[in-house]
Amino acid sequence: MSESSGNADRFLTAIDKIESELREKAKAAPDAEFSDLLKACNWNNRTVRVNMVLLQSLSEIRRAIVLDRGGKQVLLATPSDNTVSEAERMAELLSRHFNVLDFASKPVRTLPTDTPAIDAFNRMKELHTSKFPVYQEAKYVGFITMEAIAFWCMGGKDASAPVSQVLANYSQNEVVLFLGKDRDAQDALSAYSDLIQKGNNLMAVIVTETGSPSEPPLGFLTVSDMPKVMAAYN
């Protein structure tokens, strides 16, 4: 096999893999155009969003050098080594799939709603954390934080009051997201990026069986976990 035919085969294989991955991520019809696939994936896939210019360039190169003759792809020119390498790199990046639970802290330590505020505070100190998810049986109620308890006590309130009472009187701006255990880790990353763009802060991503707040938590991610998720897709 000549170097030119080798580059041709590698490029076609890579670009077909890219298109297949985009179509799967976009849940698009078989006849959807490459440009439409990029648009559909841009909002919820960080790999596509970060590499949009490169993906558009690869699409333009394919349009310029690949001719479809009755369903058979014929190359009118040979792609360069660099073009082939970039196409193969993108195909590999887009094929990466990691489960959200791979990056989640587990098991999840929770507090029942009747936990005294002072006990919650002391447990946070003991475990070197600043927050705990609060549950009423299997249903999520909120996140109790050291800050909320501090404000509560500084206001002269009873430190032995249940955390549910503290939560009812403390307004939190941070957002808690819920994802099902079968979701891709990139979904958590995309949701986090979307929050940042809207000026919101993320408290945590809680993973449950189907993504419902009424299910027991299987794991959770915080902002500090996002760099690990980003690195996995770079």
pLDDT digit string (tens) for 197-212? 888 888 999 999 999 9
- The pLDDT, as a whole number, for residue 6 is 86
Q: Where are the beta strands (DSSP E) in the chain?
A: 66-69, 72-75, 111-112, 131-136, 139-145, 175-180, 202-208, 219-221
Question: Are 51 and 93 within 8 A, CB to CB?
Answer: yes
Q: Quick one: CA dihedral 37, 42, 43, 48, positive or negative?
A: positive
Tokens 């255990």 sit on residue = 181
Pair 132, 212 in one domain: yes
Pair 16, 39 in one domain: yes
Pair 105, 145 in one domain: yes
CATH number, domain containing residue 122:
3.10.580.10
Pair 54, 165 in one domain: no
Number of domains in the chain: 2
Pair 108, 58 in one domain: no
Residue 158's SS3 state is coil
Pair 25, 120 in one domain: no
Q: What is the pLDDT of residues 80-106, one digit of tens each?
A: 999 999 999 999 999 998 999 999 999
Pair 26, 55 in one domain: yes
137-174 exposure pattern, b = at least 16 Cβ within 10 A, e = fewer: eeebbbbbbeebbeebbeeeeeeebbbbbbbeebebee
Reported as type and span, the H/E element at residue 165 is helix 163-168
Pair 36, 69 in one domain: yes
- The pLDDT, as a whole number, for residue 123 is 95
Largest CA distance in the chain: 81
In terms of DSSP bridges, do strands 219-221 and 202-208 run parallel, antiparallel, or are they unpaired?
A: antiparallel
Which residues are bridge partners to 206 per DSSP? 178, 220
How far from chain centre, in Å, is Cα 11?
Answer: 29
Last residue of a domain, one of 95, 111, 131: 95
Pair 14, 68 in one domain: yes
Pair 111, 134 in one domain: yes
CA 73 – CA 19 distance, rounded (Å): 14
Q: Which domain holds residue 106?
A: 101-232
Last residue of a domain, one of 95, 122, 154: 95
Predicted TM-score (pTM) of the model is 0.79
- The pLDDT, as a whole number, for residue 196 is 85
- The pLDDT, as a whole number, for residue 1 is 46
Pair 82, 181 in one domain: no
Last residue of a domain, one of 95, 118, 135: 95
70-108 exposure pattern, b = at least 16 Cβ within 10 A, e = fewer: eeeeebeebbeeebbebbbebbebbeeebebbebbeeeb
Counting as low any pLDDT under 50, the low residues of the chain are 1
Pair 189, 85 in one domain: no
- The pLDDT, as a whole number, for residue 105 is 92
